C-alpha cells in the first residue's frame, strides 16, 4: 500500500516507522531481521531501506603509486526490501539515488521494484562521493532529486524513456522526498531550499521525510514555512536518539544540524556511553511526545541498525 494511503487510513493517529541500512558486504541478512523483530510490536506500516552507492578508495600499490578502486560497502537494498515485504508483510521503501545512475539505470531499477510489488520509493540526489567535493551526476543522469521524481512520475503515467517501445504499463509508485528543517548544507538559504522542495512536490512527490533534528521548534518552523510556500503534502519528522559521546561532533559534521545546549550539557556530564544512551533515549521520548501531540502523521526513526533504543522510545510513545 502507498505511504499516503497508510496515513489516510490512520485517520489522524501518529504511525511508527523506521529506517534501516543494508548490512556491510560479507554479513548476512539475519542481523537485519534481528533488528526489525523487536520493533514489529509497534506495527510499522512501512520500513525504509537506505541505498549506498559506490565509494572510491585509493590503495597504495607501490610507494607513491595509488590505485583507485570502486567499492560498494552496503549493496542489497532491493533484496532486503523484497525480503521485508515477504517476511513481515509490511511495505518496504527503497531509497533511490540520482548519484551513480543514468536515467536508463534508474528506469531498469524501477522496473525491478515494480515487479517485486514495491509501491513506494524515497527519491534522493545522494551526496558527493568521498573523492569529490561537489556532487557530480552521471553522464545522462539526474542532477537534482526533483528530476528523479519527474522520471518516476513519468513512469507512473506509462511513459518510459524509449518512446519507440510500445508502452502500456503504468507503475504506481508513491514518491517520498527529503526535507531539511535546518536547510540542506549546500542551499544558500532555508527559503531557497524550501522553494526547491516545492519543485519536488510539483514534480510528483507525495510526502516528505525530514533530516534528523533535535529541537522540535526547528521542525515546527519548517512546517509552517513549507505550508506558507504552498507545500501541502505530509511532512514526516525524522528522529535519531544520540547514543555515544562522539555524536556531539559527528552528527553536526555529518548531517549539518545543531544540537541544543541542554542536550549537549547532559551528554557532556555522562561518564560512559551507557549513560549517554539513557540521555539520548529520554531526549528522543520528549521530542516524540511533543510531535505526537502536535499531530504529526508518522514518527520516523533512524535506527542505524540498533533497535534497542528505538524499542524503548516507542514503548513510551506508542
Residue ranges in contact with ligand FAD by CB under 6 A: 50-51, 95, 97, 124-127, 144-146, 178, 184, 186-187, 193, 196, 209, 211, 238
**At a CB cut-off of 8 Å and minimum separation 6, what does 131 contact?**
56, 58, 68
187 or 270: whose CB is closer to ligand FAD?
187
Q: How far is the CB of 100 from ligand FAD (least distance, A)?
A: 9
Q: How far is the CB of 271 from ligand FAD (least distance, A)?
A: 33
Cβ 276 vs Cβ 266: under 8 Å: no
Query: For strand 207-212 and strand 174-179, is the pairing parallel, antiparallel, or unpaired?
Result: parallel
Q: How far is the CB of 76 from ligand FAD (least distance, A)?
A: 12
Q: How far is the CB of 178 from ligand FAD (least distance, A)?
A: 3
Question: Which residue bears the cell 522496473?
Answer: 111
DSSP for 235-252 reads EEEEE----STTHHHHHH
Question: Which residue bears the cell 515485504?
Answer: 85
* Nearest one of 206, 103, 4, 142 to 111, comparing CA atoms: 103
44 or 238: whose CB is closer to ligand FAD?
238
Q: How far is the CB of 180 from ligand FAD (least distance, A)?
A: 7
203 or 267: whose CB is closer to ligand FAD?
203
Residue 63 DSSP class? T
155 or 257: whose CB is closer to ligand FAD?
257
Inter-CA distances, 31 with 21, 38, 131, 306, 307, Å: 11, 12, 30, 10, 11
125 or 218: whose CB is closer to ligand FAD?
125
Amino acid at each position: 500500500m502507498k505511504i499516503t494511503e497508510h496515513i489516510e487510513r490512520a485517520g489522524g493517529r501518529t504511525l511508527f516507522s523506521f529506517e534501516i541500512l543494508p548490512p556491510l558486504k560479507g554479513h548476512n541478512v539475519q542481523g537485519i531481521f534481528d533488528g526489525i523483530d523487536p520493533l514489529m510490536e509497534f506495527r510499522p506500516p512501512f520500513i525504509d531501506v537506505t541505498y549506498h552507492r559506490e565509494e572510491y578508495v585509493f590503495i597504495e600499490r607501490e610507494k607513491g603509486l595509488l590505485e583507485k578502486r570502486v567499492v560498494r560497502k552496503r549493496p542489497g537494498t532491493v533484496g532486503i526490501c523484497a525480503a521485508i515485504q515477504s517476511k513481515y508483510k509490511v511495505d518496504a521503501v527503497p531509497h533511490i539515488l540520482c548519484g551513480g545512475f543514468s536515467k536508463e539505470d534508474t528506469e531498469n531499477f524501477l522496473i525491478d521494484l515494480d515487479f517485486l510489488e514495491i509501491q513506494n520509493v524515497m527519491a534522493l540526489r545522494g551526496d558527493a562521493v568521498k573523492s569529490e567535493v561537489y556532487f557530480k551526476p552521471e553522464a545522462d543522469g539526474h542532477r537534482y532529486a526533483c528530476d528523479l521524481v519527474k522520471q518516476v512520475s513519468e513512469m507512473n503515467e506509462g511513459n518510459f524513456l524509449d518512446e519507440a517501445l510500445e508502452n502500456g504499463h503504468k507503475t504506481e509508485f508513491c514518491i517520498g522526498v527529503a526535507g531539511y528543517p535546518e536547510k540542506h548544507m549546500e542551499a544558500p538559504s532555508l527559503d531557497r531550499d524550501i522553494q526547491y522542495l516545492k519543485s519536488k512536490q510539483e514534480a510528483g512527490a507525495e510526502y516528505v521525510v525530514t533530516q534528523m533534528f533535535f529541537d522540535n521548534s526547528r521542525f515546527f518552523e519548517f512546517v509552517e514555512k513549507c505550508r506558507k510556500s504552498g507545500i501541502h503534502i505530509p511532512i514526516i519528522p525524522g528522529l535519531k536518539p544520540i547514543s555515544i559521546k562522539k555524536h556531539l561532533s559527528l552528527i553536526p559534521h555529518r548531517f549539518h544540524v545543531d544540537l541544543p545546549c541542554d542536550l549537549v550539557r547532559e551528554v557532556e556530564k555522562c561518564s560512559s556511553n551507557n549513560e549517554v544512551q539513557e540521555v539520548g533515549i529520554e531526549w528522543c521520548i520528549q521530542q516524540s511526545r511533543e510531535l505526537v501531540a502536535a499531530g504529526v502523521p508518522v514518527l520516523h526513526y533512524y535506527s542505524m541498525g540498533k533497535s534497542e533504543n528505538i524499542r524503548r522510545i516507542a514503548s513510551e510513545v506508542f
